[in-house]
Amino acid sequence: MALDTLMQQMVNGITLGGMYALIALGYTLVYGIMLMINFAHSEMFMAGAYVGLFTLTGLTNPKLVGSGTVAFLTKNGIGLVLLFTIVFLIAGVAIGLLGVIIERTAYRPLRNAPRLAPLISAIGVSIFLQNAVLLWVDSKALPFPQVFPIVNIKIFGNASISTLQIFILVSVVLILIVLDTFVSKTRIGKAMRATSQDRDAAGLMGVNINTVIALAFFIGPALGAVAGIFNGMYYGTVNWNMGFLPGIKSFTAAVIGGIGNLRGAMLGGFVLGIIESLAAGFLATGYKDVVAFVILILVLIFRPGGLLGESVVEKV
């Protein structure tokens, strides 16, 4: 019985952790380059879920695209792959662009201001986006259409893993591998790392700092949007303040891993997701947030630089 619970909560925790890791990367990317916590990042997650929801609803509406198309997209394996590729691509690009626009309008004018100013600007952006959704969309939670075929597969005793969990996990791992290779191997990735280590020197070596910053503000929110859609698919609902708690948790994950450090954010996300799920399974569901933040406090006391402190892998 206990072993079943352990396995089940591990599966749930890894899935949750994958989502945290995706969001945490957005915090850590921006922090690495700008030394700024983008408090509007949780709203990228929320807005991404909404864009995903609308795209999915639109593409599965017979009146809009015809009933033949809908049947193809939802009943057929290739159709499903196509459908979700389009949904993730549209949401990722839209929210990525939103991130770039926010950087241009709310943060760039404050580039040389005291560090508190962009922070407050970020909180303002966050409030603005939440209220935009309240005003233009709905104040009530919206159901996320269950298009993805969910099948539970027994893995151990009563513990099972669903096809959706497998989908989320595989996607997250792929994204993490691509991002890690991108940052360590490519020319622009190297420019990003150089910028995070010494912005002025990178500029003088010919790196266009504004391009690098814009790229960080594209990639981070795009990943946040992907996590938002996963979240919508996983919990089946989307609402205007859904970004708050996952945002704070993912920020915690980034700090636990070592803020500014990409692999740290990935590790921190999974660690936090697993611990939280175990706490929910073995203590009580109500304690999961308590445990998550206690872990944060412990890490800050004993390893203030995070699990993968500065020196292990470079920050970006």
**CB contact at 8 A, 223 and 96:** no
Strand 237-238 and strand 142-143: pairing? antiparallel
Among left, alpha and beta (phi > 0; psi -120 to 50; other), residue 151 is beta
Which stretch of DSSP H or E encloses residue 111? none
Site string for another protein, 159-188 (x = CB under 8 A): -------------------x---x--xxxx
Burial class (CB in 10 A: 0-12, 13-18, 19+), 153: exposed
Q: Does 262 bind another protein (CB under 8 A)?
A: no
Q: Please say which residue, 223 or 291, places its beta carbon nearer to another protein.
A: 223
> Quick check: helix, strand or coil at residue 260?
coil
Best CA proximity match to 220, nearest among 43, 16, 15: 43
Q: Which residue number, 182 or 282, has a Cβ lying nearer to another protein? A: 182
Site string for another protein, 126-165 (x = CB under 8 A): ----------------------------------------
Per this entry, what is the length of the chain?
316
CA gap 55, 49 in Å, rounded = 10
In whole angstroms, the minimum distance from the beta carbon of 255 to another protein comes to 20
Residues of span 185-214 touching another protein by CB under 8 A? 185-191, 193-194, 197-198, 200-209
If binding means CB under 8 A, how many residues of this protein chain bind another protein? 27
Tell me the closest approach of the beta carbon of residue 104 to another protein, in angstroms: 16
Tell the smallest beta-carbon distance from residue 190 to another protein (Å).
5
CB of 193 to another protein, least distance (A): 6
Nearer to another protein, 288 or 315 (CB): 315
